[in-house]
Amino acid sequence: MLSRVYTNRVKGMALIALAVIAIAALVGAAVTALGSRQPDYGALRRAMVEDQIRARGIKDRAVLRAMAKVPRHEFVPTALRENAYEDHPLPIGDGQTISQPYIVALMTEALRIKRGDKVLEIGTGSGYQAAVLAELTPKIYTIEILPSLAKRAEATLKRLGYNSVRVRTGDGYKGWPQHAPFNAIIVTCAPDKVPQPLIDQLAEGGRMVIPVGPQDALGGQDLQLVEKHNGTVKVSSIAPVMFVPLVREREKP
């Protein structure tokens, strides 16, 4: 028979082994939990608004509220979500980008949108700009020439509850005449000149914000504010920017 001392030693070793296994399991669970923990996107969004947007002179309270509310990380690829609130554009696929947060706020503020305004966006992209606009007025019409992006943006907007945004696949240069005139038009891709169809579809007293110039323009493209008063068009410069080119239907591969 085994001695009592030996038996107790074996039991003791077994208990130690079980304890080691339990501790290892707890440590593993803790590591897994830490690895799967998501960033505090709300805190990142608030910091974005304070440090990147308000600090640079954006004052419109409605725009600041919209930027603080819309979950920008939902509009970028999953692998880039932790970078969603950084101070630069991000790729969204198909050679397109989601604009720098400050530029989104700057363009939105320049439009001076009032509740009830009808707004046309050219270049839906990820759908983020449309969501920001939808926080200001429910009448948002947005056009994207790339079907894959248009479909993805529409799905994201609906998933997040922006059901009033109307998304269409088409040539943004031509605008959306069936729903014109628009109180505001925002163009998030750059043509060589302001498209005449968009000027025609701008309502009396309307505003259009649009980047103009080639992508390789020395000093960047010119972000312009186009205003229509008494049938006369006034153009003023806002800031140098860099946007992807506006693609026409005939340029599609």
Would you name the residues annotated as active-site residues?
A: 99
Q: Any idea which residue has 């323009």 for tokens?
A: 217
- From its phi and psi, is residue 121 left (phi > 0), alpha (psi between -120 and 50) or beta? beta
Here the tokens at position 246 are 């506006």
The DSSP result for 194-225, as a single string, is: --HHHHHTEEEEEEEEEEES-TT-TT-EEEEE
Q: Any idea which residue has 């554009």 for tokens?
A: 89
Tell me the pairing of strands 139-144 and 166-169. Answer: parallel
Distance CA 21, CA 90 (A): 44
Here the tokens at position 214 are 């080639």
Distance CA 105, CA 142 (A): 17
Beta pairing partners, 118? 139
Here the tokens at position 25 are 């399991």
